[in-house]
């Protein structure tokens, strides 16, 4: 009897197509993407006890990003856009590239301050790379769409795009 119950449960899980990895990717995507979007909204709008655009622009100026307001706006928009796309599981390789490029710049800024200053952006960058390769999972808006892309080639392309965007930003600052 127990074997029949197990077999029926396995069949039900297989027919829905959703597995533990899909749930894990959903939780990680929503958590990481949501936090990234909140961070961007702090920069742009001062939401969630953030500084807002003017103060963030001054901070960017002090970090060597000139003009500070343009780079602060770019960073905030990148964090909001990349974060929300990840939350939704939409255009996931592009979302991962946006997040990665932004976090490479954050790691660069914190590098001279020691490990504690670049540790969190590095974790975010690693998460972005993981999503670039793994994709969003089955519980995502990308699922079954003509634009759905994931895997080795798309992950590598997203990483290259994120790194190139970060290097261009660093060169222009």
* pLDDT class of 16 with cuts at 50, 70, 90: low
Distance CA 19, CA 66 (A): 47
pLDDT at 158: 97
In the chain, the percentage of residues whose pLDDT exceeds 90 is 84
Do residues 127 and 65 make contact, with C-beta atoms less than 8 angstroms apart? no
- The encoded tokens of residue 127 equal 């998460």
The answer to whether residue 1 is domain-embedded is no
Please report whether residue 151 resides in a domain. Answer: yes
Structure-block tokens of residue 151: 């895997």
CB distance 52 to 58 below 8 Å: no
Of the candidate ranges 14-28, 39-53, 85-99, the one whose mean pLDDT is the lowest: 14-28
**Secondary structure of 84-140 in the HEC alphabet?**
HHHHHCCCHHHHHHHHHHHHHHHHHHHHHHCHHHHHHHHHHHHHHHHHHHHCCCCCC
What does the pLDDT read at residue 17? Answer: 84
Task: Please indicate, yes or no, if residue 14 is contained in any of the structural domains.
Answer: no
Nearest to 102 by CA among 36, 17, 12, 28: 36
46 contacts: CB under 8 Å, gap ≥ 6: 52, 53, 55
In a domain, 125, yes or no: yes
Instruction: Go through the chain and tell me how many residues it has.
Output: 173
The structural domain count of the chain equals 1
Residue 98 domain-assigned? yes
Would you place residue 145 in the very low, low, confident or very high pLDDT band (cuts 50, 70, 90)? confident
Provide the domain limits for residue 71: 21-172
Domain assignment present for residue 12? The answer is: no
12 has a pLDDT exceeding 50: no
Between 149 and 71, the more confident residue is 71
Q: How many whole angstroms separate alpha carbon 123 and alpha carbon 14? A: 33
pLDDT in tens, 92-125: 999 999 999 999 999 999 999 999 999 999 999 9
Angle between helices 20-45 and 68-88 (to 10 degrees): 150
- For residue 66, being part of any structural domain is answered with yes
Q: pLDDT tens digits, residue range 56-96?
A: 999 999 999 999 999 999 999 999 999 999 999 999 999 99
Residue 156: inside a domain: yes
- pLDDT for residue 6: 52
Most confident of 13-17, 102-106, 140-144: 102-106
């Amino acid at each position: 009897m127990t074997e029949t119950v197990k077999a029926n449960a396995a069949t039900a899980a297989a027919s829905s197509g959703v597995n533990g990895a899909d749930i894990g990717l959903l939780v990680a995507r929503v958590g990481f993407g949501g936090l990234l979007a909140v961070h961007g909204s702090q920069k742009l709008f001062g939401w969630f006890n953030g500084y807002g655009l003017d103060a963030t622009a001054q901070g960017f100026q002090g970090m060597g990003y000139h003009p500070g307001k343009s780079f602060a706006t770019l960073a905030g928009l990148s964090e909001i856009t990349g974060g929300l796309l990840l939350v939704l599981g939409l255009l996931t390789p592009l979302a991962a590239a946006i997040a990665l490029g932004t976090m490479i710049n954050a790691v660069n800024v914190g590098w001279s301050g020691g490990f504690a200053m670049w540790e969190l952006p590095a974790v975010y960058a690693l998460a972005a790379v993981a999503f670039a390769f793994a994709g969003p999972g089955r519980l995502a808006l990308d699922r079954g769409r003509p634009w759905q892309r994931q895997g080795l080639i798309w992950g590598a392309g997203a990483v290259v795009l994120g790194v190139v965007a970060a290097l261009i930003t660093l060169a222009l600052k």
